[in-house]
Structure 1
Amino acid sequence: MTVYFCFVNLTTTIMKMIHLALLAIFLTTSPRLFAQEEDFDVSSPVRTIFGDQPTALGGYISFGMGNAALKGHNAFAGQMRLAARINHSLSIGVAGTGFTDMIGGLNYDRLETIPDGYYIDGGYGGLLLEPVFAPDFPVHLSFPMLFGAGGVALTEDRNIYDWEDWEYDNERFAIEAAPFLILEPGVEMEINLSRFMRLGLMVSYRFTTAVRLDAGREYLMNGFHAGALLKLGVF
């Protein structure tokens, strides 16, 4: 009987040790299992201000406006982009910008050649590359860069008599125009408003080739550009 009870006690002790060992193994390995599940969760959503978004491939179209500095002149600028966004972190597409300083009035800094004053009008466009830093945060940065070409013109308004309507019409004529190549790097604060809408606040600088106008070769187009964009798409 004594041997039987010793055997029972030994068996019970061994079973308790096995249970404790299994419990210890579970407690030490379960955090690693959960960590592995988080590591392999590639569908973590992009956080937005008004909701979450799990998309990995998409694109967007944007419309923006701002101010372009043109060698001391301030011009209104409108911009449009059409781009594909790859893996949330890189946009590739095309962009175009048009500008005019007619809102600010005539310029009179070329009195010798254009004494009656003139406006500056033009546009440019090309390839857009836009790396995006930390796109899963509601507010993050992107770094758009445009490579392209464009043209700028010095213009004036003329009153032309319309013999059919018996009245004068105001029309814009180019006094002189010139082409240029452009490289425009920038930085943009991108705000995730919702799954399909983002707001961008950007500032960039235009590096261009020299243009030949009435005053000779000059870098009229070099300058800062600041503005805001509304982006619509799948990011």
Structure 2
Amino acid sequence: MSTGEQMDILFRLSQNIEGFQDIEETKEFFKEVLPNRDDNYFYNVNRLKKVDLNDTIYFAYAGYIVAEAIFAGEIIENFERDEKYNFGHKLTNIQVIESSDKLDLKILSSRTTYLNTEEKIDAVKKALLLSSDIYPDEVDSSLSEGTKTKVFVNRFERNPKVRQACLEHYGYNCQICYFNFEYKYGKIGKDSIHVHHIVPISEIGTNYKVNPIKDLIPVCPNCHLILHKKNAPTVEELKAQLK
């Protein structure tokens, strides 16, 4: 049922059923099964209520956000399926999320949580924010386990202050393509952006003091991904490509 009012949704996935045996299989479902087998229709026992065109749906599994997608505004009924999940919800912009921050159980108390309060919005935003601070390829795989632990701790304890100083200087627009989460997604997108280390973390020594203006730059997830490709362009080169 449409409400005519933008409101994003957090959907708690069932565990230990076909396609959702564990968190990695669940992510694989959103990467491969949903687009290839189901034509990007997410099937549920019932129609999702209060969902509108372009609402974001966040999918949680075992307490972690594992995927997000945009609702395309179409729900179909397919009773020829050999299971109880007959209502297909058309999705677009499906993305798998690598979140390391577990959601508060209060947020996941029901199957469907409507993000209609500051508390709920902040809980989801926090999980998404912490998932985006460090990319796996920013950490040298040859580092010892102890060094990896230091990187992990810095991410939560020291980096937030440096990150905030960077954002106070540049703001929340991607400095390459000028994408802005709040402009695109509304309230839930406020204050959301990745921060890119211009000098790779793997090249920074333990005594290196990060300069939040010279060493960091706000970028959207798409530009951030390109900046971490093998033989990736520099920030300035990528800017030039988009002109």
Name which one, 1 or 2, has greater alpha-carbon Rg.
Answer: 1
| Same fold per superposition (TM over 0.5) | no
| TM-score scaled by length of structure 1 | 0.23
Q: Which has the higher strand share?
A: 1
Q: Which has the higher helix share?
A: 2
- Structure number with greater CO (CA < 8 Å, separation at least 6) is 1
| TM-score scaled by length of structure 2 | 0.23
